[in-house]
Structure 1
Amino acid sequence: MELLFLEPVFKEAIWGGTKLRDSFGYDIPSDTTGECWAISAHKNGDCKIAGGRYDGKYLSQLWEEEPELFGNYPGDQFPLLIKIIDAKNDLSIQVHPDDAYAAEHENGSLGKTECWYVLDCEPDTKIVIGHNAKDKKELEEMIRQGRWSEFIRVVDVKKGDFFQINPGCLHAIKGGTVILETQQSSDITYRVYDYDRLSNGKPRQLHVEQSIDTIVAPFEPAKCDTYTENLQGAEHKHLITCPFYSVDKYDVDGVFTIEFDKYFTDVSVVEGSGTVNGIPVEKGQHFIVPAGYGKCRFEGVMSLICSTPEKH
């Protein structure tokens, strides 16, 4: 059984920059590249397997043809999508629907629960998480009247911060931030406000009615079951377990051995370099550990962010 290394897919964006090239060494399409879809089988960005017996196959193909690689995880689509996001400028103020709303209004798509690990950010950077409306009525009034500074909840952010973004949570990454995002495999985003920016001379599409439908009021921060422990060869930080995924960070220093026991595991090398079972790996590489693979022996100095799907 082999580890499944992937070729990323890149997305240009009005707010994107060059850090995916400058920090990760990726061959990006332009100086306004916002997203690296690192592990994805979504139709809008399907990663190819790089090397090994499945070289050149799309991840979506493997999901259909070799379900045992993924522990026969239930469902008709690969459940997770792992991204690195370079926000040179502010993203729009937005919200994602849950599974039920997306299934009804977005042609059966999954909803979008996601979480952010802040890989880097400039000093004094902020992030938008939540809003200040006391109920749904005030929320609708604030949006329709454009009372954005009153409505939007802004918090400070620093490297190493972690945020869980449940459906219905108003949010936006602001300029100067690089994050690793773990999310359901969905590309549904409702923009409620975009700073009146123009793209190709025209304002970008807003989704005001869908946003009012889906934003939860009043805002309540998501609860995270985060803890840290020292293991032999690594510091382990459990970030969250929610109904869709479990996410962990491992800071490896020396030799660290682990057996991932649930379904399959997505692994992103976000700092440093070394080997996994003798295979060289470095910052910016992403791979899937198939179900039943057995032990992974990491050697070197590197930081890994790992995610497994939860059965729900």
Structure 2
Amino acid sequence: MKPVVMPPHRFPHFYRGGDRITELRGVPGPHERSPEEWLASTTTRFGEAPAGLSVLPDGRLLRDAVAAQPEAWLGPEHLATFGADTGVLVKLLDAGERLPVHVHPDRAWAGRHLGCRYGKTEAWYVVAADEGAQVHLGFRHDVPRAVLAERVERQEAAALLDVMHARTVSAGDGILVPGGWPHAIGAGILVVEAQEPTDFSILLEWTGFDLDGPAEGHLGLGFDTALGAVDVRGHAPDEVDALVGPRRLERSDTVLPVLPRAADDYFRMHVARPAAAVTVPAGFAVVVTLAGTGEVTGDGAASPLSRGDVLAVPYGAGDWTLRGDVEAVVCRPALAAPQGPS
């Protein structure tokens, strides 16, 4: 099986953005609010299936192709660990406006309340950012749950942001966002996002967005329950620093990690900038080509690769190789499966 170049896969969302995805992928979005593209996705939007599922060039859903040939797509070790589940969701996200403050549950909370072994820990690799663009991540000091509930009910966005860490970002930054941590991506930032394969989001803010927050923002559980997913502890600056991975801008003949080691329990994200050739071991991967031209070789055959291409790489491609003056982000599932309800 060869690596597959995936067609564009965008759909409307509640916030503005997407121009940088259009420029990268060469295809406009369907709506002014088309700020995300889900890449090689077998995950559906929460409550909106089948939205979110990626389509292969032959018209089949990737989900169905994986279900029909799980070992060819995922490999025997992956199947033994995860089952017929890719174990990762990858997106392009271009924030044309600041996203609302929100939170994704961790695995323990998702297991108790949603019956799912996955939470939604995620990570951002910054592809481009306006000068001074910021992300908000975690509370700077403890916020009593009653105070949090009151601020959410009153939609006191400024008060929420004021108590959060703000971090200025630039291209090449990799940031892990643990489940439970409140966060918001600021306007003017394009990221490749890797995450656990769910669409669990709890809104702490919705005013000013194309949302009915009280109806949409609590995963159908009610806010009394949903706000229990929020990590209300204060985190010191060095805790936030520990979520930022190494900046890897050099050329190398191995893939280079861009996230802290703690991310490996959830997914793996690396950059590839071949000095001569980067070879990646067999296994399911999603590859986002950010710059340059080159070729990808898998299953004994070489295919051209250029900026904006997105690949779904099946296990059946074997060890696969990138060559040329290219820069790509390689996202793969974790090596160990999450524990909890299946």
TM-score band by shorter chain is 0.7 to 0.9
CA separation of 1:121/1:232 partners in 2, compared to 1, >3 Å: closer, same or farther? Answer: closer
Q: Which residue of 1 aligns with 2:21?
A: 20
Amino acid at match of 2:33: T
Q: Which residue of 2 aligns with 1:119?
A: 127
**Residue 16 of structure 1 aligns to a residue in which SS?**
coil
Alignment check: 8 A CA contact 1:197 1:203 kept: no
Matched, 1:57 2:60: yes
**Residue 273 of structure 2 aligns to a residue in which SS?**
strand
Give the whole-Å Cα distance in 2 for the aligned partners of 1:38 and 1:2.
17
Instruction: Write out aligned runs for 1:58-73 (5 A).
Output: 58-68=61-71, 69-72=73-76, 73=78
Q: Which residue of 1 aligns with 2:95?
A: 87
Alignment check: 8 A CA contact 2:181 2:231 kept: yes
Note the residue ranges of structure 1 that are not aligned, 5 or more in a row.
none
Task: Tell me by how many angstroms 1:104 deviates.
Answer: 4.0
CA separation of 1:91/1:210 partners in 2, compared to 1, >3 Å: closer, same or farther? Answer: farther
Query: CA RMSD for the aligned pairs?
Result: 2.8
Give the whole-Å Cα distance in 2 for the aligned partners of 1:202 and 1:162.
29
Amino acid at match of 1:271: A
Task: Tell me by how many angstroms 1:283 deviates.
Answer: 1.8
Give the whole-Å Cα distance in 1 for the aligned partners of 2:27 and 2:225.
35
Q: Which residue of 2 aligns with 1:31?
A: 32
Alignment check: 8 A CA contact 2:252 2:274 kept: no
Residues paired across the two proteins, number: 305
Give the whole-Å Cα distance in 1 for the aligned partners of 2:252 and 2:271.
14
1:105 to 113, 122, 129: 113
Structure with a larger share of its residues in strand: 1
Task: Tell me by how many angstroms 1:146 deviates.
Answer: 5.1
Task: Tell me by how many angstroms 1:30 deviates.
Answer: 2.2
Alignment check: 8 A CA contact 1:84 1:178 kept: yes
Task: Tell me by how many angstroms 1:247 deviates.
Answer: 1.2
CA separation of 1:135/1:93 partners in 2, compared to 1, >3 Å: closer, same or farther? Answer: closer
Give the whole-Å Cα distance in 1 for the aligned partners of 2:225 and 2:88.
23
Q: Which residue of 1 aligns with 2:269?
A: 247
Instruction: Pick which of 140-149 and 98-107 moved more.
Output: 140-149
Instruction: Write out aligned runs for 1:150-165 (5 A).
Output: 150-152=159-161, 153=164, 154-165=166-177
Task: Tell me by how many angstroms 1:89 deviates.
Answer: 0.7
Task: Tell me by how many angstroms 1:42 deviates.
Answer: 1.4
2:306 to 282, 292, 308: 282
Amino acid at match of 2:204: V
Give the whole-Å Cα distance in 1 for the aligned partners of 2:175 and 2:213.
32
Q: Deviation string for 1:32-65 (max 9, x for gaps)?
A: 2110111201133111222xxxx33211112211
Task: Tell me by how many angstroms 1:95 deviates.
Answer: 0.2
Matched, 1:197 2:208: yes
CA separation of 1:284/1:231 partners in 2, compared to 1, >3 Å: closer, same or farther? Answer: closer
CA separation of 1:141/1:199 partners in 2, compared to 1, >3 Å: closer, same or farther? Answer: closer
Alignment check: 8 A CA contact 2:175 2:259 kept: no
Give the whole-Å Cα distance in 2 for the aligned partners of 1:130 and 1:65.
41
Q: Which residue of 1 aligns with 2:278?
A: 257
Alignment check: 8 A CA contact 1:133 1:151 kept: no
Task: Tell me by how many angstroms 1:306 deviates.
Answer: 0.9
Q: Which residue of 1 aligns with 2:48?
A: none
Alignment check: 8 A CA contact 1:91 1:173 kept: yes
Alignment check: 8 A CA contact 1:8 1:39 kept: no
**Residue 125 of structure 2 aligns to a residue in which SS?**
strand
**Residue 306 of structure 1 aligns to a residue in which SS?**
strand
How many percent identity over aligned positions? 21
Task: Tell me by how many angstroms 1:204 deviates.
Answer: 7.4
1:298 to 312, 315, 322: 322
**Residue 25 of structure 2 aligns to a residue in which SS?**
coil
CA separation of 1:107/1:21 partners in 2, compared to 1, >3 Å: closer, same or farther? Answer: same
Q: Deviation string for 1:215-273 (max 9, x for gaps)?
A: 113144464584559665577344244312111111235x3131325x32221112222
* TM-score between the two structures when normalised by the length of structure 1: 0.85
Q: Which residue of 2 aligns with 1:266?
A: 286
CA separation of 1:203/1:212 partners in 2, compared to 1, >3 Å: closer, same or farther? Answer: closer
Alignment check: 8 A CA contact 1:94 1:193 kept: yes
**Residue 15 of structure 2 aligns to a residue in which SS?**
strand
* TM-score between the two structures when normalised by the length of structure 2: 0.79
Note the residue ranges of structure 2 that are not aligned, 5 or more in a row.
45-50, 338-342
Give the whole-Å Cα distance in 2 for the aligned partners of 1:139 and 1:30.
34
Structure with a larger share of its residues in helix: 2
